[in-house]
């Protein structure tokens, strides 16, 4: 359906009653070939790839709230692939390459803006660690560059370069292909494309338990009744520990609140994403003009989705030390999401201890950038019963074998 300016106005006045739905609201069926738990970006992407790449016909996404109402709608939209280990680079750069063509593939503008992401070094020690990280990333084929203080100043003229700055800027490093993408659009684009391929997206449908017979998944019990399923995929973000416990196993994760905030909108003042490893502060400017900024994890495990005031204060203070001009802005909103952080800060993907139940969890503070990869590899595992070669190192078994992928630093913000 096409809309003229006049018809847009008429629709607005009529409460949008005549607008075409972007996806259906189908009734829950008693049986599906594949059920994905969680209607965030990852779950919706998994359903899309199940239908498009693997031709699985009867697929459902079950979401207990509304699409993208979890961390997909709460994150600060940073995309990048500047990780330390080759396994991580393969994973996150796969995702970034998908993002680079996703608007075209989904015919939905995800507003990808590869404006570059710059990490600040505040000491000689920071610079030495960054030199090592950049070397490792370049060996893995990632577009990173080490910058001296003058080069950082050319990119971030509003940052505090005075000699007595609390967080002096010695230099930094940049990934120019990094940037931001519109988080809602990623979820909605995948939802619309999955729906068009026949996927049932069922909102307000909570998975309460699993039906397991002889160690094999047979279906899920939901707030709308039981559903039989050939394969079940878990993409529940901050609730993976809760769901794993219902399926009878434990995950090596800890759940924390992660906070973010926005300022009132202003004209363009910041053309890159800036991140300060040492303080845990990062900031970018949205297309609306708001400064979107955030923090490292709150200090103790919690399922309270609002975050603690000391973290808010510390991060606002760090931002104002690094960008003193932002003192003049009002803060509009603060919020948090619950993130599941594995012991090595890398995601947990692939088969679970229950046959035909597959995992896509533990994305911690950094899974938005990985949405296409999480979805793609979950779909691969659900359709084939096996890992894709890129997801294999992220198997749950690494916590038994000791083959951990410790991305505590590469995950980007303070842990
Ligand atoms: P979600 O979007 O949370 O989707 C999971 C869904 O599962 C939810 O909608 C939830 O309602 C549903 N669900 C849970 N339990 C059940 C159940 N029992 N039955 C049915 N449905 C269920 N990552 C980045 O890469 N870049 C960033 O800049 C970034 N910034 C962040 C800032 C903040 C403040 C936060 C909180 C996170 C940030 N992240 C970032 C992390 C990122 O948001 C997540 O890793 C990512 O969004 C996870 O996507 P998802 O689809 O797996 O999860
Ligand atoms: O993973 O880049 C990231 C990130 C930034 C803020 C939160 N996560």
Tell me the pLDDT of the chain (415 aa) as tens digits.
Answer: 566 778 878 888 888 787 888 999 999 999 999 999 999 999 999 999 999 999 999 999 999 999 999 999 999 999 999 999 999 999 999 999 999 999 999 999 999 999 999 999 999 999 999 999 999 999 999 999 999 999 999 999 999 999 899 999 999 999 999 999 999 999 999 999 999 999 999 999 999 999 999 999 999 999 999 999 999 999 999 999 999 999 999 999 999 999 999 999 999 999 999 999 999 999 999 999 999 999 999 989 999 999 999 999 999 999 999 999 999 999 999 999 999 999 999 999 999 999 999 999 999 999 999 999 999 999 999 999 999 999 999 999 999 999 999 998 776 665 5
Q: What pTM was computed for the model?
A: 0.97
- Angle formed by the axes of helices 86-100 and 371-384, to 10°? 100
Burial of 146 (0-12, 13-18, 19+ CB in 10 A): middle
Fold of domain 24-81+83-108+183-253+344-411: FAD/NAD(P)-binding domain (3.50.50)
Q: 158, 80, 159, 83: which is closest to 113 by C-alpha?
A: 80
Give yes or no for a contact between 229 and 31, defined as CB atoms under 8 angstroms apart. yes
pLDDT at position 354, please? 98
Closest ligand to the CA of 222 = 1
Of all protein residues, the one whose alpha carbon is nearest to atom 5 of ligand 2 is 78
Query: H helices within 283-415, ranges in order?
Result: 309-322, 371-384, 398-401
**CA 66 to each of CA 69, 73, 201, 276: distance values in angstroms, whole numbers, following the listed order:** 5, 10, 10, 33
CATH topology assigned to domain 117-179+255-341 = D-Amino Acid Oxidase; Chain A, domain 2 (3.30.9)
- Sketch the domain layout of the chain as residue ranges: 24-81+83-108+183-253+344-411, 117-179+255-341
Q: Is 282 in the pocket of ligand 2 (CB under 6 A)?
A: yes
What local confidence, expressed as pLDDT, does residue 231 receive? 98
Q: What's the pLDDT at 2? A: 60
Ligand 2 pocket test, candidate residues 96, 173, 294, most atoms within 8 A of CB = 294
Give me ligand 2 centre to Cα 114, in Å: 15
Of the listed ligands, the closest to the CA of 375 is 1
CA 190 to CA 208: how far, in whole Å?
Answer: 25
Check if the beta carbon of residue 123 is closer than 8 Å to that of residue 131. no
Q: How far is the CA of 129 from the centre of ligand 1 (A)?
A: 30
The closest-lying atom of ligand 1 relative to the alpha carbon of residue 66 is 9
Q: How high is the pLDDT of residue 63?
A: 98
Contacts of 114 by beta carbon, 8 Å cutoff, 6+ apart: 100, 176, 177, 178, 179
CA of 257 to the centre of ligand 2 (A): 14
The response to whether residue 294 sits with its C-beta less than 6 Å from ligand 2 reads: yes
Is the minimum distance from the CB of 69 to ligand 1 under 6 angstroms?
yes
Ligand 1 contact, 206 CB (< 6 A): yes
Give per-residue burial for 319-340: e unless 16+ CB within 10 Å, then b: bbbbbeebeebeeeebbbbbbb
Kind and range of the H or E run holding 228: strand 225-234
Cβ of 363 closer than 6 Å to ligand 2, yes or no, is: no
What's the pLDDT at 1?
A: 52
Q: Does the beta carbon of 190 sit less than 6 angstroms from any atom of ligand 1?
A: no
| Residue 137 near residue 178 (C-beta atoms within 8 A) | no
């Amino acid at each position: 359906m096409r809309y003229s300016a006049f018809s847009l106005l008429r629709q607005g006045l009529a409460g949008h009653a005549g607008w075409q739905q972007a996806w259906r609201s189908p009734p829950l069926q008693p049986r599906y070939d594949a059920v994905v738990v969680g209607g965030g970006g990852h779950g919706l992407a998994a359903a899309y790839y199940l239908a498009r790449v693997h031709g699985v016909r009867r697929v459902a996404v079950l979401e207990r709230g509304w699409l993208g109402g979890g961390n997909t709608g709460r994150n600060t939209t940073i995309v990048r692939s500047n990780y330390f280990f080759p396994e991580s680079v393969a994973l996150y750069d796969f995702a970034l390459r998908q993002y680079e063509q996703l608007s075209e593939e989904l015919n939905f503008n995800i507003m990808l803006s590869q404006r570059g992401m710059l990490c600040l070094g505040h000491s000689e020690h920071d610079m030495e660690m960054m030199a090592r990280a950049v070397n490792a990333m370049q060996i893995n084929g990632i577009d990173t560059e080490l910058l001296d203080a003058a080069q950082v100043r050319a990119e971030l003229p509003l940052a505090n370069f005075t000699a007595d700055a609390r967080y002096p800027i010695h230099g930094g490093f940049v990934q120019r292909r990094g940037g931001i993408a519109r988080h809602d659009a990623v979820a909605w684009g995948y939802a619309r494309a999955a729906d068009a391929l026949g996927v049932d997206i069922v909102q307000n449908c909570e998975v309460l338990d699993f039906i397991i017979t002889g160690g094999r998944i047979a279906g899920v019990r939901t707030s709308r009744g039981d559903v039989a399923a050939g394969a079940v995929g878990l993409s529940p973000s901050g609730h993976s520990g809760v769901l794993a416990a219902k399926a009878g196993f434990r995950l090596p994760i800890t759940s924390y609140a992660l906070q973010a905030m926005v300022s009132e909108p202003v004209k363009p003042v910041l053309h890159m994403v800036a991140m300060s490893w040492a303080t845990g502060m990062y900031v970018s400017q949205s297309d609306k003009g708001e400064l979107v900024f955030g923090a490292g994890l709150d200090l103790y495990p919690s399922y309270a989705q609002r975050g603690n005031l000391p973290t808010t204060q510390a991060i606002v203070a760090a931002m104002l030390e690094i960008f003193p001009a932002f003192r003049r802005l009002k803060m509009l909103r603060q919020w948090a999401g619950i993130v599941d952080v594995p012991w090595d800060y890398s995601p947990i993907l692939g088969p679970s201890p229950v046959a035909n139940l597959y995992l896509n969890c533990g994305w911690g503070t950094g899974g938005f950038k990985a949405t296409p990869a999480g979805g793609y590899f979950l779909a691969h595992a659900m359709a084939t019963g096996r890992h894709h070669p890129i997801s294999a190192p992220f198997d749950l078994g690494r916590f038994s074998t000791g083959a951990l992928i410790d991305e505590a630093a590469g995950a980007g913000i303070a842990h």
